[in-house]
């Protein structure tokens, strides 16, 4: 659908002569008539369920988070159930999702809401933002989805969509970029349809304006500044190079009949408070012929993201 109008570059001076109304309007029409993306928490109004889904989805793909969300809701249908559960049970359910600090914060926040707030989830943005493990994005998502409060979400999908539609080359991870994009996102947001709009722009970024965008079928292609200039693949711009660190974790398994020696991690590092075998961390891979070591886990850390490369299991005598 083309309206023949041009979008106003609202990022200049943080002001707009036309506050993104056209963009939001067309996006909402697409959302109503063509957006078929299904997720169990879509349209949900219960702040507990929205909060849970948002914490699970931090640093996690929707496809991966789905079954965790369903398991959590089935096991802990409300915040009191989650608050009362032993931490080991909650961690067990979280197993495999990674970023275990999220799980720790989940438990702390559930106890706080259940006990201190008597089960009443905070209803305003500032109070939601005070919850442990909740940042600007998550607070905006909860405030807009649960209460339709006018707070624009700004996640990777939204950065990508806005940078392309409005052709913004300022790096999204720079201080200036964050300011420009948050002003723009907030300016465009239709205040009365905040929840619907926030979900729509994230869905649009997930299914059409993807990292490899579907410009040929995109209803914004007649007005998308990046596409009209043929530079959609160059946006958004990032300033910082991702640092990758390699670590070698070698585990020593000490057994006594049916008992195995483990210890709890306490340092300020990955897997805090989780249990593991005795660890020897080395700069390089441990010599594979060593008789005491059965494997080496090679870990690459990319910001907060971790991949595991399991070493070969060695035969021991």
Q: How far is the CB of 96 from ligand SF4 (least distance, A)?
A: 33
The Cα 133–Cα 127 span in angstroms is 13
- Residue 52 binding ligand SF4, by CB under 6 A: no
Q: Which is nearer to ligand SF4, 57 or 209 (CB)?
A: 209
By CB under 6 A, the count of residues binding ligand SF4 is 14
Residues near 63 by beta carbon (within 8 Å), at least 6 away in sequence:
none
Residue from the set 169, 173, 214, 276 that interacts with ligand SF4 by CB under 6 A: 214
- Residue 224 binding ligand SF4, by CB under 6 A: yes
- Residue 213 binding ligand SF4, by CB under 6 A: yes
CA 196 to mean position of chain CA atoms: 19
Q: How far is the CB of 160 from ligand SF4 (least distance, A)?
A: 8
Residue from the set 48, 121, 227, 293 that interacts with ligand SF4 by CB under 6 A: 227
CA 271 to mean position of chain CA atoms: 18
- Residue 168 binding ligand SF4, by CB under 6 A: no
Q: How far is the CB of 226 from ligand SF4 (least distance, A)?
A: 5
Mark 147-166 with x for binding to ligand SF4 (rule: CB under 6 A) and - for no binding.
Answer: -----------------xx-
SS3 of the chain: the string is CCCCCCCCCCCHHHCCCCCCHHHHHHHHHHHHHCCCCCCCCCCCCCHHHHHHHHHHHCCCCHHHHHHHHHHHHHHCCCHHHHHHCCHHHHHHHHCCCCCHHHHHHHHHHHHHHHHHCCCCCCCCHHHHHCCCCCCHHHHHHHHHHHHCCCCCCCCHHHHHHHHHHCCCCCCCCCHHHHHHHHHHHHHHCCHHHHHHHHHHHHHHHHHCCCCCCCHHHCCCCCCCHHHHCCCHHHCCCCCCCCCEEEEEEEEECCEECCEECCEECCCCCCCCCCEECEEEEECCCCCCCCCCCCCEEEEEEECCEEEEEECCCCCCC
Q: Which of 17, 54, 176, 281 does the annotation list as catalytic?
A: 54
- Residue 297 binding ligand SF4, by CB under 6 A: no
Show contacts with ligand SF4 in window 228-267 (CB under 6 A): 232
Q: How far is the CB of 235 from ligand SF4 (least distance, A)?
A: 8
Q: How far is the CB of 3 from ligand SF4 (least distance, A)?
A: 15
Q: How far is the CB of 173 from ligand SF4 (least distance, A)?
A: 20
Residue from the set 66, 108, 218, 314 that interacts with ligand SF4 by CB under 6 A: 218
SS3 of 66-89: the string is HHHHHHHHHHCCCHHHHHHCCHHH
Residue from the set 220, 249, 250, 311 that interacts with ligand SF4 by CB under 6 A: 220
Q: How far is the CB of 232 from ligand SF4 (least distance, A)?
A: 4
Q: Is-catalytic flag, 54?
A: yes
Number of other residues whose CB lies within 10 A of the CB of residue 305:
12
Residue from the set 208, 249, 286, 293 that interacts with ligand SF4 by CB under 6 A: 208
Show contacts with ligand SF4 in window 97-156 (CB under 6 A): none
Q: Which stretch binds ligand SF4 (CB under 6 A): 186-194, 213-221, 297-305, 309-317?
A: 213-221
Binding residues vs ligand SF4 (CB under 6 A): 164-165, 208-209, 213-215, 218, 220-221, 224, 226-227, 232
Active-site positions read 54
């Amino acid at each position: 659908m083309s309206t023949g109008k041009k979008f106003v570059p609202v990022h200049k001076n943080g002001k707009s002569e036309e506050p993104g109304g056209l963009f939001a309007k067309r996006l909402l029409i697409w959302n109503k008539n063509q957006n078929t993306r299904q997720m169990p928490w879509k349209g949900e109004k219960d702040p507990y369920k929205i909060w849970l889904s948002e914490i699970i989805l931090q640093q996690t793909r929707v496809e991966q988070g789905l079954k965790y969300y369903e398991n959590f809701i089935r096991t802990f249908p409300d915040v009191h159930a989650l608050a009362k559960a032993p931490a080991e049970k909650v961690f067990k359910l979280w197993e495999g999702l990674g970023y275990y600090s999220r799980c720790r914060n989940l438990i702390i926040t559930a106890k706080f809401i259940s006990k201190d707030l008597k089960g009443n989830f905070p209803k305003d943005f500032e109070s939601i933002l005070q919850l442990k493990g909740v940042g600007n994005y998550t607070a905006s998502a909860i405030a807009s989805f649960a209460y339709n409060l006018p707070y624009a979400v700004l996640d990777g999908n939204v950065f990508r969509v806005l940078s392309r539609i409005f052709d913004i080359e300022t790096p999204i991870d720079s201080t200036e970029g964050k300011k420009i994009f948050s002003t723009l996102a907030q300016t465009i947001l239709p205040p009365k349809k905040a929840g619907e709009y926030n979900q729509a722009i994230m869905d649009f970024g997930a299914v059409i304006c993807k990292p490899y965008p579907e410009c040929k079928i995109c209803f914004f292609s007649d007005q998308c500044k990046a596409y009209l200039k043929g530079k959609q693949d160059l946006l958004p711009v990032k300033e910082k190079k991702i640092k990758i660190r390699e670590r070698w974790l070698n585990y020593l398994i000490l057994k006594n009949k049916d008992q195995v020696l483990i210890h709890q991690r306490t340092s300020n590092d990955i897997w805090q408070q989780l249990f593991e075998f005795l660890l020897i961390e080395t700069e390089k891979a441990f010599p594979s012929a060593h008789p005491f070591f059965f494997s080496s886990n090679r870990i690459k850390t990319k910001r907060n993201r971790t991949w595991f490369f399991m070493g070969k299991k060695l035969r021991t005598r």
